[in-house]
Amino acid sequence: MRNKLMQFVPVVALALGLPAVATANQELARLSKDPKNWVMQAGNFENWRYSELKQINKDNVKNLRVDWTFSTGVLRGHEGGPLVIGDTLYVHSPFPNKVFAIDLDTKQIKWKYEPKQDPSVIPVMCCDTVNRGLAYADGKIFLQQADTHLVALDAKTGKEIWKVKNGDPKKGETNTNAPHVFGDKVITGISGGEFGVRGFVAAYDIKTGKQVWKAYSTGPDKEMLIDPEKTMTWTNGKMAPVGKDSSLKTWEGDQWKIGGGTTWGWYSYDPKLNLVYYGTGNPGTWNPKQRPGDNKWSMTIMARDLNTGVAKWVYQMTPHDEWDYDGVNETILADLEIGGKMRPVLVHFDRNGFAYTLDRSTGELLVAEKYDPKVNWATHVDKKTGRPQVVAQYSTDHNGEDVVTKNVCPAALGTKDQQPAAYSPKTKRFYVPTNHVCMTYEPFRVEYTAGQPFVGATLTMFPAPDSHGGMGNFIIWDAAQGKIVASKPEKFSVWSGALATAGDIVFYGTLEGYIKAVDANTLKELWRFKTPSGIIGNVTTWEHKGKQYIGVLSGIGGWAGIGLAAGLEGDTEGLGAVGGYKELQNYTELGGVLTVFSLPDEATGGAR
């Protein structure tokens, strides 16, 4: 009892009005408000991926040209994007996770950091050796290495300040996520859902690297930092306490110990509520027959107190997942009018094909609608229970082991994977890169061995049938109404992060390697450029010496490009992606390059 009480003492301190957030990164908050910088992966705490810069606009974007380029010297998939603080750009690579600091005046390398990692970590990385980027705060650059080491580097010199181990690759634990700094803590997760890893989120002190708290996705309440009486969830049309042993009751025996729920996606933060938001991944194994129950709290959006890690509310999107619809995609925070009332909301485009709008303060479900009309595994989300209504024909659990379930939409990589959407406060719309892909799915029995794949399913993937023939769309979404406003078809999945700007344009990249600019209201294409390799990185922007720049990492790979990245050829390899995206080899090749664009001086028209 004493341990349980001590666990929640910090919550009492907050209730008494003690300071909620340490001020160690006031510099970060200040820098993020200056659009000249791009100081965190999503641009701000709310995950908007939006810039107030408008020197480049819908009228002159057609004049964009390459300003400079930089090769990372690495051939695998390049996700994430660079950071820009003042006159320095910081860019990363996939394994071996190099970090470069580049002088924006001279384009010279100020410093380079290349960690020495055991290459044996590569085989336990599920879907390419990607890394989603760096974080900055308190004069430090934070790198989350593949081998799970979290490193703090001096931003001026590249010198290592501290280094801590976050997991154990011998158990299948690796890291691909970008670290996130909120308050005086750096937040990170863990990968390995395909290896029976038990997911968690951990918070480390930005000055010392000391672990402050750690919260698991599954298991006993205490280890999940869940208060049975105060942590709330959507139940029968209202918020209610999760109750005692909310996770344990939904697993058979000790399966929760290898239950997945990994945390390799994006994180957001509301300073006023002092809540950190993120999603958890698939339960292990992919064979649903082996793990009866709802498998909580996999596939769940979590809202946790930054200081203590205690969950305020949780919402599970896909109970008892049967299709690998990880819930790790970004949570975007905005204030929207819903039902005639302004609400502080969280918007989440889940892999399962439904876009969710929740009240981010309470966790109340407001909207849940399909953001690709081809989604067929469920008819709808019941607004009272919050549960998707599964169609038996596409239920891999109903159909059973060693049975091929055909034409399930979306495929396991979801209507959208981790590639982050953008939000424009100017248009009040969301700009979403999507996959338009379906699959066959055959589950089979598999045994757990630490550090070995724990999948238990064979998949094939293909473009959504009876559609435009392509594998992707770029859409505008109305999160208040739950409706697609506009949709632009693409030949392949749109696997890059979007960027919206005050110039009334939105940027995104394609797997063939094009970076494109489209009208923020209509999606009319205004400009494109073919970069050296396929784009799975996220578009960013900054200003230096009065000129706006657009930057993007190209370098094919990731799940969609794993065939090229890892040299795989079998249709069912890469968890089904190799066959589905085989045609990519006719359009692009490997190679990691940062390409930076600007307008010619005569084309800026003096706009700033």
Which CATH number do you get for residue 223?
Answer: 2.140.10.10
Query: Nearest Cα to 274, choosing from 562, 449, 20?
Result: 20
Return the CA Rg of the chain: 22
User: Tokens standing for 295?
Assistant: 């498998």
Name the DSSP letter for residue 198: B
- The 10s digit of each residue's pLDDT in 80-125 is 999 999 999 999 999 999 999 999 999 999 999 999 999 999 999 9
Percent residues over pLDDT 90 in the chain:
94
On whether residue 580 sits in a domain, the answer given is yes
pLDDT of residue 318: 98
Q: How far apart are CA 39 and CA 91, in angstroms?
A: 12
Q: Compute the distance between CA of residue 78 and CA of residue 76 in angstroms, rounded to an integer.
A: 6
Question: What confidence score (pLDDT) does residue 208 get?
Answer: 97
Nearest Cα residue to 343 out of 355, 335, 353: 335
- Distance, in Å, from the CA atom of 245 to the CA atom of 263, rounded to the nearest integer, reads 21
Termini Cα distance of the chain: 60
324 catalytic residue (yes or no): yes
Low-confidence residues of the chain, pLDDT below 70?
A: 1-25, 604-608
Pairing of strands 50-51, 429-435: unpaired
165-189: b (≥16 Cβ within 10 Å) or e: ebbbbebbbbbbbbbbbbbbbbbbb
Residue 608 domain-assigned?
no
Count the domains in the chain: 1
CB atoms within 10 A of CB 271: 14
The answer to whether the beta carbons of residues 175 and 121 sit under 8 Å apart is no
Contacts of 280 (CB under 8 A, 6+ apart): 199, 217, 261, 262, 263, 297, 298, 299, 300, 302, 326, 327, 328
Tokens describing residue 273: 């509520």
One-letter amino acid of 344: P
Question: What's the pLDDT score for residue 605?
Answer: 55
* Residue 558, domain extent: 41-603
Q: Please answer whether residues 129 and 146 qualify as being in contact, where contact means their C-beta atoms are separated by less than 8 angstroms.
A: yes
**Which token pair is 153?**
């580097």
Report if residue 24 sits inside a domain.
no
Q: Identify whether 419 is part of a domain.
A: yes
Count of C-beta atoms within a 10 Å radius of residue 211: 14
Helix (H), strand (E), coil (C) string for 124-150: HCCCCCCCCCCEEECCEEEEECCCCEE
Q: How far is CA 524 from CA 58, 321, 474, in A?
A: 10, 37, 11
Return the pLDDT at 602. 79
| 28 part of a folded domain | no
Q: Which of 138, 324, 326, 478 is catalytic?
A: 324
Which pTM value belongs to this model? Answer: 0.95
**β-strands 311-316, 232-235: how paired?**
parallel
If one counts every other C-beta atom within 10 angstroms of the C-beta of residue 327, the result is: 31
Determine, yes or no, domain membership for 20. Answer: no
pLDDT at 405: 98
In a domain, 170, yes or no: yes
73 in any annotated domain: yes
